[in-house]
């Protein structure tokens, strides 16, 4: 997302902003103590702060003391949740490349991206690409597929102390392959020296271990804090969100009711904390502000956008799980979300808000609320439209707020 140098520069600037924000937070906290009702800003945190403060928080790297059992063990007792969660995009967000339906469909065929040709073959070690490069073609066996492919999918392969991220990615909206987001668009030059460097980039991007560890931490469970990345549990599955589950599993198998306390249940979090819980991977509002990602690019980060909306408050009806069940695939189609809006908004002419329904009625329509108030914006590099969670009145020609 950011190069290390810009990240540092931004982080220095944001540290200052952060101190100011912290000061404001203290002021608000003081105001709350003095009887004001505004508590929405208090306790919004960066993911690193959450990890430091809590025994378990998603994306925390594992140490040898942590004991994971895998989703099949959870399925013994939570079979309905296990069945539906396995169908979700999140559960499928990482798999061995040999299990990618998109890549295996290309066996024996040639992909062309940015004018470079990649011949895809099946081998016992996994799918292999051979990049045509004059007299010395380059081959690589692909290890991991990141992304379910419902939006896109890219391939990562360990090579000594780095990983190689493929230059080609699969994109759902074009049902085919194109250049990987955040990698440069290449041009097939003549046989001059620039050709060598373009060819290098066509093999893929070299990703350092510290960055790769972060990729796995958001796409898998049991990702070790140190050393090679082995024995992970691929995909965002039970223990990626709930934390290592061996103690809970053992206690429940022994019928010890105390075992219930040995696993994190995010249902017990306050809304402001639960939004940060999802934000551990989708970015919290503080993460986004620290990274200095505002306006259009920030639409990829729903927590930040949602918390900028006039609808936002520390109320369970507007936390992520009010609209999305983390144990199920994303519900597509904006009309399905009407009941979520109408949990707070009154509807129909002349109906006035009250204590239970603090949201006004719409003067324009009574259904398919999100189609107008949560517009979608195209991100050309991922060939996909993302939903703006800054729920608002959209005026034609007005700039994107936030």
- The residues in 235-264 that bind ligand HEC, with binding defined as CB under 6 A, are 236-242, 245, 248-249, 252-253, 260, 263
Nearest to 41 by CA among 359, 276, 358: 276
For the CA atoms of 120, 121, 122, 126, the dihedral, rounded to the nearest 10 degrees, stands at: -60
Cβ burial of 109 (10 Å; 0-12, 13-18, 19+) is: exposed
Return all residues near 171 (Cβ < 8 A) that are at least 6 apart: 151, 152, 177, 178, 382, 383, 384
- Pick one of 7, 43, 121, 368: the residue that binds ligand HEC (CB under 6 A): 368
* Smaller CB separation from ligand HEC, 138 or 322: 322
Q: Distance between CA atoms of 341 and 291, rounded to whole angstroms? A: 30
Closest-by-Cβ residue to ligand HEC is 245
* Smaller CB separation from ligand HEC, 27 or 77: 77
Return all residues near 282 (Cβ < 8 A) that are at least 6 apart: 301, 302, 303
Binding mask 4-43 for ligand HEC (x = CB under 6 A): ----------------------------------------
- Pick one of 32, 40, 42, 78: the residue that binds ligand HEC (CB under 6 A): 78
- Pick one of 202, 359, 390, 402: the residue that binds ligand HEC (CB under 6 A): 359
* Smaller CB separation from ligand HEC, 133 or 247: 247
Region class of 251: left (phi > 0), else alpha (psi between -120 and 50), else beta = alpha
CA dihedral over 158, 163, 169, 170, signed as positive or negative: positive
Nearest to 167 by CA among 152, 175, 177, 159: 177
Nearest to 208 by CA among 223, 222, 193, 229: 229
- Pick one of 31, 209, 334, 400: the residue that binds ligand HEC (CB under 6 A): 334
Nearest to 381 by CA among 115, 187, 151, 150: 151
Considering only the stretches 32-40, 108-116, 191-199, 276-284, report the one whose residues sit in contact with ligand HEC under the rule CB under 6 A.
276-284
**Matching residue, tokens 């399905």:** 336
Q: What's the closest the beta carbon of residue 135 comes to ligand HEC, in angstroms?
A: 32
* Smaller CB separation from ligand HEC, 158 or 189: 158
- Pick one of 158, 176, 266, 292: the residue that binds ligand HEC (CB under 6 A): 266
**C-alpha atoms less than 13 angstroms from C-alpha of 257 in its C-beta half-sphere:** 0
Q: Is 90 in the site for ligand HEC (CB under 6 A)?
A: yes
Q: Is 381 in the site for ligand HEC (CB under 6 A)?
A: no
**Window 48-77: residues binding ligand HEC (CB under 6 A):** 58-59, 69, 71, 73-74, 76-77
Binding mask 139-178 for ligand HEC (x = CB under 6 A): -------xxx-xxxxx-x--------x-------------
- Pick one of 97, 143, 223, 281: the residue that binds ligand HEC (CB under 6 A): 281
């Amino acid at each position: 997302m950011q190069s290390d140098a810009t990240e540092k520069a931004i982080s220095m600037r944001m540290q200052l902003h952060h101190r100011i924000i912290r000061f404001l937070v203290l002021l608000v906290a003081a105001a709350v103590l003095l009887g004001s009702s505004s508590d929405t800003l208090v306790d919004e945190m960066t993911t690193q702060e959450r990890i430091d403060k809590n025994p378990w928080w998603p994306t925390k790297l594992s140490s040898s003391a942590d004991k994971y059992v895998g989703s099949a063990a959870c399925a013994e007792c939570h079979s309905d949740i296990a069945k539906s969660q396995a169908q979700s995009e999140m559960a499928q967000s990482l798999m061995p490349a040999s299990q990618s339906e998109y890549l295996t469909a290309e066996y024996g065929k040639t992909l062309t991206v940015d004018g470079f040709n990649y011949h895809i073959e099946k081998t016992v070690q996994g799918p292999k690409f051979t990049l045509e490069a004059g007299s010395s073609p380059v081959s690589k066996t692909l290890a991991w597929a990141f992304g379910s492919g419902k939006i896109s999918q890219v391939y990562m392969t360990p090579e000594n102390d780095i990983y190689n991220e493929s230059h080609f990615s699969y994109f759902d909206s074009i049902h085919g392959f194109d250049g990987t987001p955040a990698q440069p668009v290449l041009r097939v030059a003549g046989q001059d020296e620039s050709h060598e460097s373009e060819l290098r980039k066509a093999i893929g991007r070299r990703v350092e271990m510290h960055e790769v560890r972060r990729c796995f931490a958001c796409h898998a469970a049991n990702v070790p804090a140190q050393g090679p990345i082995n024995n992970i549990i691929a995909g965002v599955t039970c223990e990626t969100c709930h934390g290592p589950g061996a103690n809970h599993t053992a206690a429940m198998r022994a019928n010890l009711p105390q075992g219930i306390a040995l696993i994190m249940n995010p249902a017990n979090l306050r809304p402001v904390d639960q939004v940060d819980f999802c934000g551990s991977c989708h970015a919290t509002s503080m993460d986004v502000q620290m990274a200095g990602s505002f306006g259009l690019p920030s639409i990829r980060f729903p927590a930040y956008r949602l918390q900028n909306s006039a609808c936002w408050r520390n109320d369970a009806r507007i936390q992520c799980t009010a609209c999305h069940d983390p144990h199920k695939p994303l519900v597509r189609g904006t009309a399905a979300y009407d009941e979520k809006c109408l949990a707070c908004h009154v509807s129909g002419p002349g109906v006035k808000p009250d204590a239970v329904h603090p949201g006004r009625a719409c003067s324009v329509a009574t259904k398919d609320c999100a189609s107008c108030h949560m517009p979608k914006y195209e991100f050309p590099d991922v060939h996909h439209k993302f939903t703006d969670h800054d729920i608002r009145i959209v005026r034609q020609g007005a700039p994107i707020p936030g």
